[in-house]
Structure 1
């Protein structure tokens, strides 16, 4: 019997088996790449989210500084008086309108980039920022005599520690009427809860990287002071101050220093 040995004996032939092995190996490589990309995204996502939040907070701070400079310019032209709000006055008296000559791009500056209702507020003539009642509305007694008045910028004893403007709450009206706080009511007697009253006026956690907490104490907000500087305040710190009975909206003349 003649045994014929082929030159190709013992050498794998190109065929279906070889193609399957190569395809399987390529699929494994693809899965590894996908897994690596998913891991990188998971690692980078929090950083990117934080960077976006930080950028928006910076834009908002810039907006507030421009508003602060406009407030100072307005006060210089009006013997120190601050602009008015719609607190008991018609919409045309709002600072949104009276500061227009002092802000070249008022329609951009009055909107916060993190405001979820910015477009609606723009369409309805509203704003993302609200002025502090203490510096825009004097307090009168029953006979119409002024009891306290912090509405003159030039007469403030500590402008660097007096808050003029806050970032408004999400649930405020979308029109011009929501251009101010009701700060004097924040610490109204029980059953009023001060932190709830504050959250109805301002958004203490406007800038955050995760979901909002039920009490809006996770994140930060911007506070504009009468000397036009802006402070980034942590919501948790503001809440702690509130729980200690400290009304940070009050000018220092009342004996309590804001952040």
Structure 2
């Protein structure tokens, strides 16, 4: 092969790579979207089957923490296992409610996340007895990549009112119909002044994994956040069993509640708190 022929061959290969790589990236994102939608549908089905076996009532939320001087407080909705039950008669692990309907813990992990939580299967099997071998604590918590909203209460900051997650499959006045969504938020203490998501943001970095929490994508955005400029396709599952796609600009702002009834938001910002969570606008609509 002559030098000219070699250069031509290199040029052709370079051209093909330039054409194929974006297509491969799009194909991978599409595959992840299909898998993610399937996983959310499986979780919605598991919650529905639980309700069928429990007089129509959904599992209790485990996104709580016991407190000194008061009974308990809300935590962020990605909680898969809390350190302790909020009160007698409650469980502190999603596995205690759903393991019989959802045997594989991988279903609870967004396929687009940078990395799955390394002990997810172990924590799922152990349930409330989970003891992370990398810590000296015996009551470890676990944060996942999806937001779980059944029996959850938060604060809708733009509407200045509580958010009530679905409590039963027969519906209750004032409750949202949102059961699960991809995580998209802003100003989490692990990524201050940045958008964070289980879906890959353009130009994003990866948060440092902790003993209790999976890593996620984040992109700095100093100043007032403008989610309408975030080019991201997300998915959410609802009580009727369907999973639908939505954009970052089609969302409402949800914050962790300080008051147990969701009437006030918890302190967040300055490197503290869980920040904002963006849920589909239709999920925040007031229901009679």
TM-score tier, shorter chain, comes to: 0.5 to 0.7
Cross-structure match for 2:24: 48
Cross-structure match for 1:165: 180
Structure 1 residue 156: deviation in Å?
4.7
Cross-structure match for 2:168: 152
Question: Structure 1's 236 and 47: CA in aligned 2 closer, same or farther, altered over 3 A?
Answer: farther
**Paired positions, count:** 189
**Using the alignment, how far apart are the partners of 1:99 and 1:247 within structure 2?**
27
Tell me the TM-score normalized by structure 1. 0.60
Cross-structure match for 2:287: 253
Structure 1 unaligned blocks of 5 or more: 1-24, 140-146, 175-195, 255-259
| Higher normalized helix content (fraction of residues) | 1
Contact 1:68 1:224 in 2 (8 A): yes
Residues 8-87 of structure 1 aligned to structure 2 (within 5 Å): 26-87=2-63
Question: Structure 1's 117 and 150: CA in aligned 2 closer, same or farther, altered over 3 A?
Answer: same
**Using the alignment, how far apart are the partners of 2:52 and 2:4 within structure 1?**
71
Residues 110-189 of structure 1 aligned to structure 2 (within 5 Å): 110-120=108-118, 122=120, 125-132=142-149, 135-137=150-152, 150-156=166-172, 162-169=177-184
Cross-structure match for 2:158: none
Cross-structure match for 1:211: 203
Question: Structure 1's 235 and 149: CA in aligned 2 closer, same or farther, altered over 3 A?
Answer: closer
Max radius of gyration: which structure? Answer: 1
Structure 2 unaligned blocks of 5 or more: 66-83, 86-90, 124-141, 155-162, 205-218, 254-275
| Secondary structure, counterpart of 1:154 in structure 2 | coil
Structure 1 residue 238: deviation in Å?
2.9
Question: Structure 1's 111 and 98: CA in aligned 2 closer, same or farther, altered over 3 A?
Answer: same
**Using the alignment, how far apart are the partners of 2:30 and 2:13 within structure 1?**
25
Cross-structure match for 1:180: none
Question: Structure 1's 31 and 247: CA in aligned 2 closer, same or farther, altered over 3 A?
Answer: same
Structure 1 residue 248: deviation in Å?
4.1
Question: Structure 1's 239 and 126: CA in aligned 2 closer, same or farther, altered over 3 A?
Answer: closer
| Secondary structure, counterpart of 2:170 in structure 1 | helix
Structure 1 residue 251: deviation in Å?
5.5
Residues 182-197 of structure 1 aligned to structure 2 (within 5 Å): none
Tell me the TM-score normalized by structure 2. 0.54
